[in-house]
Amino acid sequence: MTAQLQGIGMTSRRTRMRLVQRLREAGIESDRVLDVLGEVPRHIFLDEALSHRAYEDTSLPIGYGQTLSQPYIVARMTELMLAHEPERVLELGTGSGYQTAVLARLFDEIYSVERIKPLQDRARDRLRQLHARNVLLKHADGGMGWPDRGPFDGIIVTAAPVEIPQELLMQLRDGGVLIAPVGEEDQILVEVTRRGDRFDHKELEPVHFVPLLGGVVR
């Protein structure tokens, strides 16, 4: 185990359990999700200078204009997805790899796309440290999804498009669910379920994410 993995988040179970308790009080009900949030060492997904803030319920910068999502929203999106019991899940926006690591402990196959290569490289290293062997990563424009690997039982989008790309919806299997923040300044978390050629939209709660941008960064 690396020195970073042996840091504050691994040794201070009390610190993590305080975060789990805050998430429970905020409305997260799934014990499975809360257990995973208590296990995954969030501090390793941050630069060392910010690791002391890892178990606050807040988003934190990871460079390139991107953020490590607030634990509550990671738990909320994961809980929503878990309710549908998918096996194959596509994540758009690997970012730090934290949400990826959480998903990898709950679902059989994770496919994760990131457009910023240095972030993907760091995420790959962290996921290897955690032995997340059921994760496949791709460097590409996340808005296009990963059609070669579809269809997917579930899709989680970790940055906000103005509207959900149709080509992304078409990568859902029948009965599959997509969870994404949608909008510009006023964003809403949306759950979309595919019913044959119909897509049922359900608006859930206000959120704030970085925008989903096109193109790749090497």
Tokens of 131: 């032995």
Report CA-CA distances (Å) from 79 to 28, 31, 33: 8, 9, 6
Say which CATH topology domain 8-207 has: Rossmann fold (3.40.50)
Cβ contact 137:149 at 8 Å: no
**pTM, rounded to two decimals:** 0.92
pLDDT in tens, 21-46: 999 999 999 999 999 999 999 999 99
Return the pLDDT at 216. 64
The domains of the chain are located at 8-207
Determine contact, residues 96/149, Cβ cutoff 8 Å.
no
Mean pLDDT of 167-191: 95
For residue 141, pLDDT over 90 is answered with no
Tokens (6 digits) for 114? 């990131």
Is 69 an active-site residue? yes
Q: Given 30, 51, 59, 69, which residue is catalytic?
A: 69
